[in-house]
Homo-oligomer: A and B are copies of this chain.
Amino acid sequence: MPTRRSPARRPTMKDIARRAGVSESAVSFALNDRPGVSEATRARVRRVAEQLGWRPSTAARALSGEGAATVGFVLARPAATLGVDSFFLQLVSGIQGVLAERHLGLLFQVVEDVADECAVYRRWWAEHRVDGVLVVDPRADDPRPGLLDELSLPAVVIGGAPDERHPGLSTVWADDAGAMASVVGELTALGHRRIVHIAGLPGLAHTQRRIRTLRAEAARRGLAEVESVTTDYSDAEAAAVTRRVLRGPAAPTALVYDTDVMAVAGLAAAAELGFSVPADLSVVAWEDSALCRMVTPWLSALSRDSVEFGKTAARELLALLDGGPARTVRVPVPRLIERDSTGPARTDRPRSGAANDGTGPGA
């Protein structure tokens, strides 16, 4: 433990230089592993620095040309929709794990929409606050890659498909198409032919990828009654859509939800309508979390390692900051974990008729 010093005085390189009997430059060389000092001096300087509890001032570092030792992360979400969500916290946790090794800070900001997000990038850039950023929720016609290119701010797009128009950006993505194909395969193997995909925001790139894949898979397998419905990701809308499709004629026998939260909400809605899961209806959640094991029946879910996803993204950003080339990295395809909410499609008779009286589909 260092000896008790007067409280609010940070040690500087000058202090170290004085104590070690060398110049400030020597201290700088010593501490940054640069040639120009003897090993003996280097060791001595290191020792003094350690003893003083010295850490480089990021401000001074940033000012003299080094980076700000910080990366940025913006979450564009209307405050109202910030709900139950395990994905982001896990993602951020993974990101941190990697950044912390290099003592990089994470500047985090929640904003209302993408326009605000762009404003934040501009400000961060002008204020010299971050060395790079992590971008989530890429969307069709996204203004962000172009902006980041213009600012030459290193960036990694998380969850986007590779984008050739902005070769400066790295991309880390999960293969939604492959996952969707596997889900459809699994469901058709169980005999399901009427599948509804309750998707997220229509503007997001991965929503569109999933919808496109579903359509293609349905065409390939000759499934006529397959559709996607987009939502705002809220549990309320998920429940409403679920009620609507289940009450309609030729109700689906399987529902695929784009998030665990929507799946849980949908499950409750289905139960209210008297549908028994998985006997009458199979349910799959895209995104696994404790939530899936907190409802009855337990939800089958597409699981991916969000923490690892974050780590991968952070590593790519580090590579970029080190001057490496932009790359596109694909993380493992989400695995379908079959629990209790999926089962063989009912074969007795195709369900039909508009109104369901709530006493149950087969009664």
| Top 4 A-B pairs, shortest CB-CB distance | A59-B62, A55-B126, A108-B108, A8-B152
10 contacts between A and B (CB under 8 A): A58-B127, A59-B62, A59-B63, A79-B93, A84-B84, A96-B111, A105-B129, A106-B107, A268-B296, A291-B291
Q: Verify if A82 is at the interface (C-beta below 8 Å from B).
A: yes
| Bound: A248/B85 CA distance, A | 34
Q: Verify if A31 is at the interface (C-beta below 8 Å from B).
A: no
Are the CB atoms of A79 and B151 closer together than 8 Å?
no
Within 8 Å by CB of A109, from B105, B110, B290, B294, lies B105
Are the CB atoms of A264 and B294 closer together than 8 Å?
yes
Number of copies: 2
| Bound: A100/B92 CA distance, A | 20
Within 8 Å by CB of A307, from B79, B85, B108, B293, lies B79
- Beyond A107-B105, A265-B294, whether A126 also contacts B82 by CB under 8 A is no
Are the CB atoms of B82 and A86 closer together than 8 Å?
yes
In the assembled complex, how far is the CB of residue A110 from the closest CB belonging to chain B, in whole angstroms?
5
| Bound: A252/B122 CA distance, A | 57
Name the residue among A62, A69, A89, A122 with the largest chain B CB count within 10 angstroms: A89
In the assembled complex, how far is the CB of residue A299 from the closest CB belonging to chain B, in whole angstroms?
12
- Beyond A296-B268, A296-B271, whether A59 also contacts B128 by CB under 8 A is yes
Q: Verify if A207 is at the interface (C-beta below 8 Å from B).
A: no
| Bound: A89/B235 CA distance, A | 17
In the assembled complex, how far is the CB of residue A257 from the closest CB belonging to chain B, in whole angstroms?
12
Q: How many residues of A contact B (CB 8 A)?
A: 68
Q: Verify if A88 is at the interface (C-beta below 8 Å from B).
A: yes
Known: A79-B90, A268-B295. 15 other contacts (CB 8 A): A10-B128, A54-B126, A59-B60, A69-B127, A79-B93, A79-B97, A83-B289, A84-B291, A89-B89, A92-B108, A92-B110, A235-B290, A235-B293, A271-B296, A291-B291
CB-nearest residue of chain B to A94:
B79
Are the CB atoms of B70 and A7 closer together than 8 Å?
no
Name the residue among A79, A125, A127 with the largest chain B CB count within 10 angstroms: A127
Q: Verify if A150 is at the interface (C-beta below 8 Å from B).
A: yes
Residues of B contacting A127 with CB < 8 Å?
A: 55-58, 69
Q: Verify if A167 is at the interface (C-beta below 8 Å from B).
A: no
Residues of B contacting A128 with CB < 8 Å?
A: 10, 57-60
Q: Verify if A261 is at the interface (C-beta below 8 Å from B).
A: yes
Q: Verify if A36 is at the interface (C-beta below 8 Å from B).
A: no
| Bound: A108/B310 CA distance, A | 15
Q: Verify if A47 is at the interface (C-beta below 8 Å from B).
A: no
Residues of B contacting A11 with CB < 8 Å?
A: 126
| In the complex, per-residue mask of A96-121: 1 if CB is within 8 Å of any chain B CB, else 0 | 11001001011111110000000000
Residues of B contacting A69 with CB < 8 Å?
A: 127
Within 8 Å by CB of A8, from B94, B110, B151, B289, lies B151
CB-nearest residue of chain B to A126:
B55
Name the residue among A54, A79, A150 with the largest chain B CB count within 10 angstroms: A79
In the assembled complex, how far is the CB of residue A194 from the closest CB belonging to chain B, in whole angstroms?
25
Q: Verify if A123 is at the interface (C-beta below 8 Å from B).
A: yes
| Bound: A254/B27 CA distance, A | 66
In the assembled complex, how far is the CB of residue A273 from the closest CB belonging to chain B, in whole angstroms?
12
Q: Verify if A314 is at the interface (C-beta below 8 Å from B).
A: no
Q: Verify if A198 is at the interface (C-beta below 8 Å from B).
A: no
